[in-house]
Structure 1
Amino acid sequence: MSGIIGKKIGMTSLYMEDGRSVACTLIEAGPCVVTQVKTVENEGYNAVQIGFGEKKEKHTTKSLLGHFKKANTTPKKKLVEFRTFEQPLNLGDVLTVEMLEVGTFIDAVGTSKGKGFQGVVKRHGFGGVGGQTHGQHNRGRHPGSIGACSFPSRVFKGLRMAGRTGGNRVKVQNLEVLRIYPDKNLLVVSGSIPGAKNSYVIIEN
């Protein structure tokens, strides 16, 4: 499975030929540089590492500076490995948004927005305890009972409770490529993708 690294720009909508208004996401995809080609002989497995986004040399370690120098490129902010690629790649090759085609379907991988510590209603979609009658006071969004009686006298593992929400790696599959603007490195896909604006996105096809 090949792919490219991008940055989420924002969302908009497009009118299709049949008159439908489709919500879509704008992604700045590429250009990406092949920074390493891993082989079974050297690393024990086949993979291609690509880099995206410019980074200042003073903020880059010397070991990484040498790593990028081998690929004859500037330091990159984001590095991602792909185990398989449809076309053979060499060190220093540049990947652009033109590797994708309009009408094809891609998968988008990103980090969802972190929402901090949240209750069970927001985190798991609970309905709350219910009404305010029969002694219920200020418990509208509480989880309610969390265990049984004297048997088994404990709370089962994995019970859905309040806790940290968001900030997870999320993959959204089968997003259609609606537009490609090679001169601006822009990719327009249908639907929404995880992450905030200017967050990194991995595009797999």
Structure 2
Amino acid sequence: MKGILGRKLEMTQIFSENGKLIPVTVIAVEPNIVLQTKSVEKDGYQALKLGTINKRANLLNKPDMGQFKKVNSEPKRFVKEIRDMEGYETGATINAADVFNAGEFVDVTGISKGKGFAGAIKRHNYSRGPMGHGSGYHRGIGSMGAIINRIFKSKKMAGHMGHEQVTVQNLEVVKIDTERNLVLVKGSIPGPRKGFVVIKQNVKGRKAQEAVSLLSRNAAVKAVVEPTPVAVEETAPAAE
């Protein structure tokens, strides 16, 4: 597993080499500092704790400030662990180009936009009632279930919408700009502008190299399995 921390900037579009228009999300990936390395022997699991984006020291308490003093680093605003990541020592600096290459597929995790209090129709995509004047039911929540004088837990009702962790899987890394520390990912990702995100290696789906090898293998198998057509000579009917 590999990953890095970044910050969502905006969406735009670029043209590929063959002239195809690609919608991309621009993610600013400033250098990540390895604050701590965790191992199975000591901590019970393997992970790297990364930090990015500087923060004022007077905004931290002493326990939080201690983890940055151990690696002689400035306080970081966004700190996150990435499980099963290895290969870096404490205090090392990681850039986007050190982890990912263009053409790879990644999973992006972030906090979605908060929508505040929302009704059941907007929040859970319920259907509304007739909008005629005599209907008496327009945008209500509808049936609450069986008549047992209570509502079961986990019933989808009106409430706080958004502002929750969302992961979008199998997004292609279109380009990595090392000069400006930018990563261009195909498609949209969760969160508002300037929202922090975690970019990790995809856990589902095929990798870019595996997909190419699979296509070539299937083409070779198809050529071997399919029988070659044999020409059949038509014989004239026997004379009576």
TM-score after normalising by structure 1: 0.90
CA contact (8 A) 1:106 1:174 kept: yes
Percent of residue pairs identical: 39
- After TM superposition, give the deviation of residue 71 of structure 1 in Å: 1.1
- After TM superposition, give the deviation of residue 24 of structure 1 in Å: 1.0
For 1:143 and 1:37, locate their aligned partners in 2 and report how far apart those are by CA, in whole Å. 49
Structure (1 or 2) with the greater helix fraction: 2
2:116 is matched with 116
CA contact (8 A) 1:180 1:188 kept: yes
Task: Indicate the structure (1 or 2) with the bigger Cα radius of gyration.
Answer: 2
Higher relative contact order (CA 8 A, sep 6+): 1
Letter in 2 for 1:124: H
- After TM superposition, give the deviation of residue 187 of structure 1 in Å: 0.3
Q: Which deviates the most, 195-204 or 12-21?
A: 12-21
- After TM superposition, give the deviation of residue 42 of structure 1 in Å: 3.0
2:151 is matched with 155
Letter in 2 for 1:26: V
CA contact (8 A) 1:129 1:143 kept: no
1:140 is matched with 138
CA contact (8 A) 1:4 1:30 kept: no
1:188 is matched with 184
For 1:96 and 1:26, locate their aligned partners in 2 and report how far apart those are by CA, in whole Å. 16
For 2:66 and 2:151, locate their aligned partners in 1 and report how far apart those are by CA, in whole Å. 53
RMSD: 1.6
Letter in 2 for 1:90: E
Residue by residue over 1:159-204, the C-alpha shift from the partner in whole angstroms, topping out at 9 and shown as x without a partner, is 2211111011000000000111011110000000000000100000
Number of positions where the alignment pairs a residue of Structure 1 with one of Structure 2? 200
- After TM superposition, give the deviation of residue 153 of structure 1 in Å: 4.7
Letter in 1 for 2:188: S
2:31 is matched with 31
For residue 42 of structure 1, give the secondary structure of its aligned residue in structure 2: helix
TM-score after normalising by structure 2: 0.78
For 2:27 and 2:38, locate their aligned partners in 1 and report how far apart those are by CA, in whole Å. 28
Residue by residue over 1:113-169, the C-alpha shift from the partner in whole angstroms, topping out at 9 and shown as x without a partner, is 010110111111112112315x324x32222222334xx454343322111110110
Counterparts of 1:164-183 in structure 2, within 5 Å, are 164-183=160-179
Q: Which runs of 5+ in 1 are unaligned?
A: none
Residue by residue over 1:45-100, the C-alpha shift from the partner in whole angstroms, topping out at 9 and shown as x without a partner, is 32211111101111122222222121121111111111212x51101100101121
For 1:177 and 1:116, locate their aligned partners in 2 and report how far apart those are by CA, in whole Å. 32
Q: Which deviates the most, 190-199 or 29-38?
A: 29-38
Q: Which deviates the most, 169-178 or 51-60?
A: 51-60
2:92 is matched with 93
For 1:153 and 1:70, locate their aligned partners in 2 and report how far apart those are by CA, in whole Å. 58
